[in-house]
Amino acid sequence: MLDNLPRGTICIEDIEMGMSRHLRKIVTDEDIEMFAQVSTDRNPVHLDDDYAQDTIFEGRIAHGMLTAGLISAVIGEQLPGHGTVYMGQTLKFLAPVRPGDMVYAEVKVVDIDHAKRRVTLDCHCAVDGKKVLIGEAKVLAPSRKFD
């Protein structure tokens, strides 16, 4: 048995169809600036008000992958949690996220392969109830048993 699994981790033995977890986060200017620094994506649509005003977005927007990172946070911290290994992720960006937006990120279990410890999760992010990102993640869930 693995006794060192962090509290809150949901092992493959306990995952059930329909289980879901979520988080809420306000995306700040600082978040966008830090993401630009870490990713090296300094596209002015994210960082320059004057430039962004003249784009189809009519203002600055957060990086799409910053928003997608909130899905990763739910998976890595809540469902299944620490010890989860990402195997794949699809993403479709539906609308921009702007500085100051409250993003709701949710994942829901839609398929489980207990024998292989694989879990498929429906993922989405929303702002004011409107989906801004949808996708599907495939992960390897932690187990209480040794392989």
- pLDDT-based confidence at residue 35 (cuts at 50, 70, 90): very high
Q: Tell me: pLDDT of 87 over 60.
A: yes
Encoded amino acid at 55, one letter: T
pTM over 0.75: yes
Cα–Cα distance for residue pair 58/49, rounded to 1 Å? 9
Domain 12-140, second-level architecture: Roll (3.10)
Report yes or no: 90 and 136 within 8 Å, Cβ to Cβ: yes
| CB neighbours of residue 37 within 10 Å | 10
Report yes or no: 121 and 137 within 8 Å, Cβ to Cβ: yes
Indicate the range of 3-12, 13-22, 89-98, 128-137 predicted with least confidence.
Answer: 3-12
The residues with which 23 forms a beta bridge, in sequence order, are 105
Q: Tell me: pLDDT of 36 over 70.
A: yes
**Which is it for the CA torsion 90, 138, 101, 41, positive or negative?**
negative
